[in-house]
Amino acid sequence: MNIRLAEPQDIKQLIKMRWDFTIEFDENKKNESYDEFEKECQLFLEKALDSGQWFIWVAEEDGKLASHIYIELIQKVPRPGRVTYPFAYMTNVYTVLEHRNTGIGSQLLSTINHWIKENNFEFVIVWPSEEAVNYYKKNGYVHCTEPMEYFPS
């Protein structure tokens, strides 16, 4: 298993994985246009990979992506008296069906946790589905109660 940052040649696989991830949890979306989605996602991924703000980690086996985790760095406003480090927003965590429950996702998350520590990022936030809570807990994540949300109507 090769764990690494995504590269431009991974974009087609990343697009297909995002589509599959969405369809798996919302079958109504399979009636959407794949071509339109592909165009939009292609542009996003090209910009993301070149941005220095997004880090897309992948686990690859035999040239095929088995799992991915997207990290967006959020810069914080500096504060007097301390060095300010960004925090990480984790999203789009997905492992293809045939690789689930094999430890690949935990290996990938462990690599990211090490990278987070190594780069002094302040913390990581993730909004897991109910099914994913134990995955995060076994990898050192804890529930927080501080964030608030606003949904404009």
What H or E segment, with its residue span, contains residue 66? strand 64-74
> Is 50 among the domain residues?
yes
Is 145 a domain residue? no
Q: How would you write the pLDDT of the chain (153 residues) with one tens digit per residue?
A: 999 999 999 999 999 999 999 998 888 888 889 999 999 999 999 999 999 999 999 999 999 999 999 999 999 999 999 999 999 999 999 999 999 999 999 999 999 999 999 999 999 999 998 889 999 999 999 988 877 887 888
What is the domain-level CATH number for residue 57? 3.40.630.30
How many folded domains does the chain comprise? 1
Count of Cβ atoms closer than 10 Å to residue 17 Cβ: 20
Residue 128's domain spans which residues? 2-137
Cα–Cα distance, 10 to 25 (Å, whole number): 23
φ and ψ of 62, to 5 deg: 55, 40
